[in-house]
Amino acid sequence: MKRWILLIVLFGNLWIWRIFSFNFLLGVLILFTSLALYKNYKISFVFLIALLLFFQFKTTEISSLTLLSNDDIRVKDMRLKEYPYSLTRVGWWLEGRKETIAFFRILKNFSEVIDPNLYFFANHPRERVGYVEFEKFPYIFLPFFIWGLFSSVKKLSKNYLVTFLPFVLPIILISFTGLKNSLGPFSLFPWIVTITAIGIGETYKRIYKYAKN
């Protein structure tokens, strides 16, 4: 039954087919990475996720963390003028320093990549200008994803590989590179698939248990 659950989640979404149409070998890599994660093949997974992160980096149009467009400069100058004269230096530290600009852009990338809307609702209603938004997973998977995440967190000490590593590494990378990728943050695909499959499996076990009683 577990095998069928994984296959349903793996192929029952538009994201994997979009990836296959773009690059067949990348699609195969994502499938094997998902399988290694779901089966908890630690050594194989670490090697495969490293490859996947490499492809995520190479296919992403890297967004500068400090470069300001003319409009960004205009907005920054307007915000700086709103600070009282006595707090001008504080305003510069909060609005003008490159370190501060980089921090808030990393934070913005982080908030976008962890948004469930990006994966289950084609980012509606927060569609972004300059990005091609597309459906990744059917929204019917969302309750199972939430349940799978809850179940995995409860067993964190036993399933740290499933719960922690495949989520944190892509998030760190994408927070620094940005999300300008025609395939989206696909390095998170194995984690989302695995968590969703776990949620469906847990749901099935509970239904089967109650039905049996």
Structure-model confidence comparison of residues 41 and 33, the more confident one? 33
- DSSP state, residue 60: S
How remote is the C-alpha of 192 from its chain's centroid?
Answer: 8
Q: Please answer whether residues 9 and 125 qualify as being in contact, where contact means their C-beta atoms are separated by less than 8 angstroms.
A: no
pTM of the predicted structure, to 2 decimals: 0.87
User: What phi, psi does 183 have (nearest 5°)?
Assistant: -105, 0
pLDDT (tens digit per residue) in 79-131 = 766 667 665 565 555 666 777 888 888 999 999 999 999 999 888 777 777 77
Residue 40 has pLDDT above 70, yes or no: yes
Residue 65 pLDDT level (bands cut at 50, 70, 90): confident
Q: Helix or strand or coil: residue 64?
A: coil
Rounded to whole angstroms, how far apart are CA atoms 46 and 32? 12
pLDDT (tens digit per residue) in 157-213 = 566 666 678 999 999 999 999 999 999 999 999 999 999 999 999 888 887 777 776
Name the token pair of 52.
Answer: 């996947």
Token pair 């809850």 is found at: 150
Q: What's the longest Cα–Cα distance across the chain?
A: 73
